[in-house]
Amino acid sequence: MSDFLKGTYTVDKEIVDETAKATIAKDEFKKKALNSIGGSMVFVEREKYVWDGDEEGK
């Protein structure tokens, strides 16, 4: 159906998707929030202190 609705003209005015812009801004906002709150580095491992893959299995 969409093919039938396709125009043979061009629109002078640029169409701006405000919803998409708002979503991007919201994502940026969230990213900035995560930045400081999430600490300087990922920290999951609480048992090992140093690790050298070369020594695996030794």
Partner 1 sequence: MDFDGLVNDITDIGYEWHKDLIVQNSANNVPYMDETLKALNHPGADKTDSAIVISAGPSLHYNDSLSLLAASDYNGTIVAIDGSYVKCLKAGVIPDYVITLDPHPTRIVRWFGDLDFEKNMAGDDYFSRQDLDMDFRENSLRQNQENIELVNRYAGQSKLIIASTAPANLVQRARQAGFDMYWWMPLVDNPDSAGSLTRKMYNLTKLPAINTGGNVGTAAWVFAQFWLKIKNIAVVGMDLGYRQDLPYNMTQGYPELVQMLGAENVGSDLFPVIENPDSGEAYYTDPTYFWYRKNTLDLIANSGATLYNCTGGGILFGDGVIAMTLQQFLSEHG
Contacts with partner 1 by CB under 8 A lie at 29-54
Q: Which is nearer to partner 1, 18 or 52 (CB)?
A: 52
Is the CB of 6 or the CB of 46 nearer to partner 1? 46
For the chain, the straight-line distance linking the first and the last C-alpha, in angstroms and rounded, comes to: 67
Residue whose CB is less far from partner 1, 4 or 51: 51
Amino acid at 53: G
> Whole-number minimum distance, CB 23 to partner 1, in Å?
16
Max CA pair span of the chain = 72
